[in-house]
Amino acid sequence: MLDERELRTFVDGTTNFFEVAAQQPATVGSPYLVTDDRPGVHEYTGIIRVSGRRSGLVYFTAPKTLLTVLLMKMQENDFSHQTMCDAVGEVANTISGNARRDYGKDFVISVPTVVSGGSEEFELPGDTRPYVIPINWRSHAAKLVVCLR
C-alpha cells in the first residue's frame, strides 16, 4: 500500500510533465483506490514494470486525441500509430523515472511496453490494489495508474 507522500511523487511527476513537455498544465485529481475491478484504459497505454525496492507497474493511458495534441505542442509532425505508441510510452517512462528522485536508485524501471486499441491484456499484480490518478488536459481525460507492492 502506498502512503500519501509516495502518491504525491507521482502526482507531482504528472503535473511537471505537462507543464514542461507540453507547456500547458494539466489538472491532476486526487488519487483513488480501485477496489473491485481493473482501473480501465484508454486507446493507448504505456506500461512500466517496476522491480527492486517496490514491484509492480505504473501505466499511463490516454486517448489518441490527447496524444495528438501533445505531439503538436511538442512540434512533432508525425502522427502515425507508431508515434502515438512512442509518445504514450515516453510519458509513462518520464513520470516513472522522475519518481526515483524520491524512491531512489533501487526503484528499477523497465523500458516501456505499449498496448493499443483499448486492450487490457496485461497483468496487474494480483495481491495489491491499484491507485488511479485522474488527469485532465485541455478537456481530454487520461489517467496514471500506480500498482506497486
Please tell me whether residue 72 binds another protein under the rule CB under 8 A.
no
Positions of E strands within 14-106: 27-28, 32-33, 44-52, 56-62
Please tell me whether residue 74 binds another protein under the rule CB under 8 A.
yes
Distance, in Å, from the CA atom of 16 to the CA atom of 98, rounded to the nearest integer, reads 10
Out of 24, 27, 65, 82, the residue judged to bind another protein by CB under 8 A: 82
Residues in region 23-42 near another protein by CB under 8 A: 23
Q: Which C-beta is closer to another protein: that of 101 or that of 149?
A: 101
Say if CB 7 and CB 131 are below 8 A apart.
yes
Q: Which residues bind another protein (CB under 8 A)?
A: 16-17, 20-21, 23, 71, 74-76, 78, 82-83, 86-87, 89-90, 93-101, 103-105, 107, 109-111
